[in-house]
Structure 1
Amino acid sequence: MMILTGRSQHGVCGAFMALAGLVGCSPMASDGDRLGEPFAFETVPPAEAGEIDETAALTIALQGIRAKTDESQEGRLLRGVHPKSHGCVMARFVVNDDIEEKYQVGLFAQPGMKKGYDAWIRFSNASVLREDDLKADNDDVRQNGSRGMAIKVMDVEGDMLSKDDGQSNQDFLMINTPEFAFANVRDYLRLDRILALSEKGNDAALFFLPLKLDALGEPKDGESPETTKERSKLKAIMEAIPAFNEFTSVDLGGTKASIGVIKGKIERKTVRNPMQVEYFGAAPFWFGAGQAMRFSAAPCEATDQAPFVDVTPDNPSKDYLGEALTQTMKGKKDVCYDFKVQLRSVDADDPKLEELKLEDATKIWSDDGTGYVNVARITIKVPQKPDTDKAMEQCEKLAFSPWHSLTDHQPLGGINRARRKVYSDSA
């Protein structure tokens, strides 16, 4: 059995819609049919292939629904998630010259390569609609949302899993929490099924309905009539929604993990400027020679992102993140990030393999003395003008996928496996 993980769409194909051995050796057989197949240390559920197919089909359907019902899209098909860009900027990606040998893999195989690589970076919101940066919830309380940073390192050398419109580019897709909000393909498919029930394809409230039922507990003597009635009502609603067919205790655990990430992490993480916070790959990736990695991009200088005090419908502005990015790019000081990786050994026979939770994107690795290590420096030169019509048009054309990748950095886990087909089919 095998597995792969991740999905956090930062782009769908080019000009159309933008919607998871030895160093240097390809991890798979060289024939194209097997390139990128799961490793022996991954665990692919029997039903996953069908679930991925349905997720891809629903993604396309949801794009169509949003194009018709969301006025901000003006009838256009946009990315399935992260459709709202704060801006794209040009950058340089240079591998550090002092990294240890075990980190000299794939893109990082040539420490100190002075020329470095050109790169594009896109900053975005994860919401499926182009909404206010602080989106109002059902109680009209404006909440923080998940923010994205996608890096496209241009013209890399080595065997690729998938070309980027014919080019050899390495994409790194990140969000501003190390945890992804959904554990696996089954949970993500259930989300898409729920979204497809709403008018604009964006209302996920029913996804968390099982938590309300679980909170009531099992029927017991002496409980109030109101509790009994509420339990019966919730059960009837769930039974009427096909997305909850064969809902199990494992699914309930995944739903609890999702609400924990959303309420406990995402909504508590204020971002005042998208260029001043750390971003994470939020899923594991191969790192050659029996290793798996997680990666992040952290500002070279930490900047306080204090919560907003007096939030009103107009403060901060609905596009405050894009405005902050544009102002930063008008400044006199270049912006830089340290690109970091965290490594773990992966072996199908290792009894500790389960601790890596390769198939659960809501889980992170403990920092047990093997935390994130700097391997590269990203520099964004100022000034740039990301808010011009030409720049925004170019930004919209950029397509990102974790499968635009060197074979040494193959995406791992179910969420990443889903990303491969969903991104390709919806392009």
Structure 2
Amino acid sequence: MSNTPVRYDPSIETIAPDEAETIAGLNESFQEILETTSKDYGHAVRAVHAKAHGIARGTLTIAANLPPQLAQGIFATPGTHEAVIRISTNAGDILDDSVSLPRGLALKILDVDGDRLPGSEGNATQDFIMVNGPAFSAPDAKAFGKNLKLLTKTTDRFEGVKKAMSATFRVVESALEAVGGESATLKTLGGAAPVHPLGETYYTQTPFRYGDYVAKLALFPVSPGLTRLTGDLVDVTARPDALREVVRDEMIEHGGTWELRVQLNTDLDAMPIEDASVVWDDKASPFVTVATLEVPPQLSWEHGATERTDDALVYSVWDGVTAHQPLGGVNRARKSPYELSSQFRGQFNGCPVHQPKSLSELV
């Protein structure tokens, strides 16, 4: 590595004096979203990333002969693990795909060893939740909470207005990008380009412990069937589930291969832990491949069946091993609301969510 990576130490995190209050506010917002959508749908969905565009099973192969700085945590032992991915959009309500929002990809790795994070004892899974942008839309938990509180007021309401606003925001965002700029806020509100989910690179956005070090992770598409879709725009006109359709078509035909890459923190000032909105410079510390995800051709969405799988699955950055502890205020603030969301879904739907020990347990 060109620069010495920062060693993990608990002191790199700084807990805000009002963090407990901020987390309580996030819980309230999550609860409001969950109650609104479950009442309207007669079924409970996630408070964030509610709409899935595809669920696919595959195998993650951890590379052999990684250098010591990269052979950390679950990546210290070469081998294969079953894995399941969920592709989504970040809203807490089920929207027409013409409301164009950032894409999400959640990766669950099965049968992993190691001391467990609080609340995930008894599990043998490692989750990484990623979005198709290198940095989080808010710098800290307080700003995240304020943004979410505003969004709760429009949850599952005014879809026609949302469609119109999304179209307008896309025009403004495209103009910004044409002159070298962009707005994470506009993208979050519906100004994201309607890109094909399978061509995107997905980032954890927030930092994690990486064994003895600190890192962000990302999933890069590498197979030709995926890379040809990078930047490809999906026609979402009069197609409320267009993304689900295009993902299904591609997964049936090609499947896909991704590389899981790691970006080690080499400078706590330039790569802050507590400001999740800062993009870490990939020239100062490039992303390096530590594992490969192979997803064979399969049906990623079957109406009437995949919904049951989606109900049973739960993802959280706090489901994993201590060697990959989520770091920073945004990550700390995610723990309680995500637990609230999964418990609410399980109770409302009468289908307790659980972490699978193998893919064969998934319906």
> Do both proteins adopt the same fold according to a TM-score greater than 0.5, normalized to the shorter chain?
yes
Note the C-alpha offset of 1:84: 0.4
Q: Is the 8 A contact 2:199 2:231 kept in 1?
A: no
Indicate whether 1:355 and 2:270 are aligned.
yes
| CA distance 1:164–1:176, shift in 2 (3 Å) | same
Deviations 1:116-135 (A, max 9, x none): 00111111111221112221
Equivalent residue in structure 1 for 2:321, among 386, 392, 406 = 406
Unpaired segments ≥5 residues, structure 2: 1-6, 163-181, 344-363
Residue 305 of structure 1, CA deviation:
3.8
Matches within 5 A, 1:160-199: 160-162=116-118, 166-198=122-154
CA 1:334–1:84: 2 relative to 1, 3 Å:
closer
Unpaired runs of 5+ in structure 1?
1-22, 28-37, 136-143, 206-258, 346-351
Q: Deviations over 1:169-224 (max 9, x none)?
A: 0001001111111111111221233234447479999xxxxxxxxxxxxxxxxxxx
Residues 87 and 124 of structure 1 are in contact (CA less than 8 Å); yes or no, is this contact kept in structure 2?
yes
- Quick one: structure 1 residues 297 and 46, their matched pair in 2 at CA, closer, same or farther if it must change by over 3 Å? same
The separation in 2 between residues aligned to 1:306 and 1:194, in whole angstroms, is: 30
The 2-side partners of 1:91 and 1:304 are apart by 20
- 1:88 Cα deviation (Å)? 0.8
CA apart distance, 1:312: 7.4
Aligned to 2:16: 45
Distance (whole Å) between structure 2 residues aligned to residue 133 and residue 98 of structure 1: 43
Instruction: Using the TM superposition, name which of 46-55 and 299-308 deviates more.
Output: 299-308
1:94–1:117 CA contact under 8 A, matched in 2: yes
TM-score norm. by structure 1 comes to: 0.67
Judging changes above 3 Å, is the alpha-carbon distance between structure 1 residues 400 and 162 closer, same or farther for their aligned structure 2 residues?
farther
Shift, 1:425, TM fit: 2.6
**Alignment deviations for residues 377-409 of structure 1 (CA, whole Å, 9 cap, x no partner):** 000012335324223311221000001111111
Q: How many residue pairs get matched?
A: 312
* Paired letter, 1:360: D
* Partner Cα separation in structure 1 for residue 261 and residue 155 of structure 2: 41
Question: Which residue among 228, 241, 250 is the counterpart of 1:303?
Answer: 228
**Contact 1:87/1:392 (8 A) holds in 2:** no
Computed over aligned residues only, the root mean square deviation of the Cα atoms, in angstroms, reads 2.7
- TM-superposition CA deviations, 1:327-353 (whole Å, max 9, x none): 12221x3411000000014xxxxxx52
The structure number with the bigger radius of gyration is 1
- Distance in 1 (CA, whole Å) between partners of 2:236 and 2:200 is 23
- Which residue is 2:288 aligned to? 373
> Residue type of the partner of 2:183?
G
The 8 Å contact of residues 120 and 318 in structure 2, kept in 1 or not, is answered as no
Corresponding residue of 1:267: 191
Show the counterpart of 1:87: 54
Q: What does residue 424 of structure 1 align with?
A: 339
The 3 A distance-change label for structure 1 pair 411 and 199 is: closer
